[in-house]
Structure 1
């Protein structure tokens, strides 16, 4: 007589159709979750960027308390040498060597004092030199300070390749081979002026804003270096903020409607290029309410 099979010991396997159905459901769920996770990641990075701008703002206020005013942001130093707003911001917050800004700083590209006789940021600074420093107002590990050559490689135009700038948190592989963010742009308000007029941009210079509170030239030479992850030459596309009209449209306050006024007309503005690394696009993050206007 044949033995009777015990139903409890019978193992039923999944069919191919069942396996494919389960796998399809998993793929659909992943497709739904990945965009949501990317949005969460982008939001978290944006929060980090806002926190960095806030930390820089605290550093600027500490500098202002020590030196009775915000650091200059002009495109040139007192010698007429290229030393732009982003670089002066880094010196004010961190010093030229990340050991603090010297109390006799004249914000000269050479690092000399106002008399042109004393090097304020020598190699291996002495104890007396360090005692004359203020700050740094951010920890070096958290300042995102990079030398210009670490971002742009050898393509630094008329700037010194060794000068530091403060970079945003949106890191990418740059022309130098290093992974950094883009420089934070810094513009100081000229409170003696009262205009915010893009129509005078064509007649403005690095030293004459034609009555405008902000001078877009302050970082124009840095913006003109282009996008350091792209190949240099004819194929490289410029930043949108290279257009002065875009600068003035996007920094205009919506609160004041009787006349054109910029955001923060009595202090300064900070601009991060945002996740796409391009200045003057909708994802830029600033210390004011950036309203992207074509």
Structure 2
């Protein structure tokens, strides 16, 4: 009788346990939809936040790169004020350095200089401010800058040899310490940049493609513009088609062509060539020079997306006692330089650019 009671109890226990398990064997459709909805809400909240955090981190990294460049440029200026008077001691961003041969004659003709030739390669290929930046701060071979004072007289007119081995013993010219520590910036060869280039802007591609640029956190070049030290406030931006580059009111302050290989050149109806496409499409918003900008048409559509409008010092503009077609227009950083990156959207001249200036807009 005792054994029978125990078996009955066990059967009863098993039955009740099985009933409870069977009741929890699966989610109902409503429960499943609720879980999916919760996951969807979490993703909608977290993904944009994570994307924004990553973007902010890249902006901060790019800002750090610009800070390192600025420190290097100031160190360069302190040492080369007399070597580069046109740019106030800063490295040139397009016009060739002031190089003279042993007879004190310019290495470059005016026409060659106007085409932005690079002095440290045979044939002097055409390059841009983004190329000059690392070459001048770290040397054309990134092993240190060669001072003119360290160049023998017979080599003064041959800058393409300054960074090469001079004899069978492997002799190199003395180098200044690099003004910019390569470990603090990202260097990328021109032909390894993302996207595609416009061959019109790179006529010497076989030589130019090897040149490094300093890149932002998105692997796009940091553009470098240095102003003409004696530029006229009546000519804030140069015009590509000014005869013999002559300006009655004085030379321009900034030269759009300094980085035209990356920004493109839109100067209707005479010349329209897009710049580097970094894979996101769209024209760069500073592809047009804006040389016709005056105080009377600051916000006109034909001037809005131009380099001149992009770098206009709005604080100085608002302080003008009166605004006429001849009112002087001052760009930002008239006595220093501009550093511009394309930002998250890969478009130069848009609001998300990380740069070294504010216009007071």
Indicate the TM-score class for this superposition, using the shorter chain for normalisation. Answer: 0.7 to 0.9
Tell me what 1:272 maps to: 341
How far, CA to CA, are the matches of 2:159 and 2:331 in structure 1?
39
How far, CA to CA, are the matches of 1:289 and 1:43 in structure 2?
18
How far, CA to CA, are the matches of 2:288 and 2:162 in structure 1?
36
Contact 1:100 1:136 (C-alpha < 8 Å) held by counterparts: yes
How far, CA to CA, are the matches of 2:245 and 2:158 in structure 1?
21
* Counterpart selection for 1:164 from 194, 198, 212: 212
Distance 1:202 1:97, change over 3 A: closer
How far, CA to CA, are the matches of 1:35 and 1:136 in structure 2?
41
Tell me what 2:38 maps to: 25
Normalising to structure 2: TM-score of the pair? 0.65
How far, CA to CA, are the matches of 1:148 and 1:206 in structure 2?
31
How far, CA to CA, are the matches of 2:53 and 2:244 in structure 1?
41
Distance 1:199 1:138, change over 3 A: closer
How many positions carry a matched residue from both structures? 272
C-alpha displacement of 1:71: 0.7
Tell me what 1:175 maps to: none
Tell me what 2:289 maps to: 244
Q: Which has the larger radius of gyration?
A: 2
How far, CA to CA, are the matches of 2:80 and 2:287 in structure 1?
32
Q: Do residues 263 (structure 1) and 332 (structure 2) align?
A: yes
Tell me what 1:212 maps to: 252
Contact 1:197 1:248 (C-alpha < 8 Å) held by counterparts: no
Distance 1:243 1:153, change over 3 A: closer
How far, CA to CA, are the matches of 2:149 and 2:285 in structure 1?
33
Contact 1:241 1:279 (C-alpha < 8 Å) held by counterparts: yes
- Gaps in structure 1 of 5+ consecutive residues: 107-111, 171-180
C-alpha displacement of 1:270: 0.8
How far, CA to CA, are the matches of 2:244 and 2:50 in structure 1?
44
Contact 1:227 1:278 (C-alpha < 8 Å) held by counterparts: no
Contact 2:74 2:90 (C-alpha < 8 Å) held by counterparts: yes
C-alpha displacement of 1:57: 0.5
Distance 1:46 1:229, change over 3 A: closer
- Gaps in structure 2 of 5+ consecutive residues: 1-7, 82-88, 98-106, 118-125, 265-273, 291-305, 321-327
Tell me what 1:174 maps to: none
Q: Do residues 193 (structure 1) and 262 (structure 2) align?
A: no
Q: Do residues 104 (structure 1) and 148 (structure 2) align?
A: yes
Tell me what 1:44 maps to: 57
Tell me what 2:275 maps to: 226
C-alpha displacement of 1:230: 5.0
How far, CA to CA, are the matches of 2:29 and 2:340 in structure 1?
56
Give the SS at the match of 1:97: coil
How far, CA to CA, are the matches of 1:222 and 1:190 in structure 2?
21
How far, CA to CA, are the matches of 1:208 and 1:269 in structure 2?
24
How far, CA to CA, are the matches of 2:186 and 2:237 in structure 1?
36
Contact 2:94 2:129 (C-alpha < 8 Å) held by counterparts: yes
Tell me what 1:144 maps to: 186
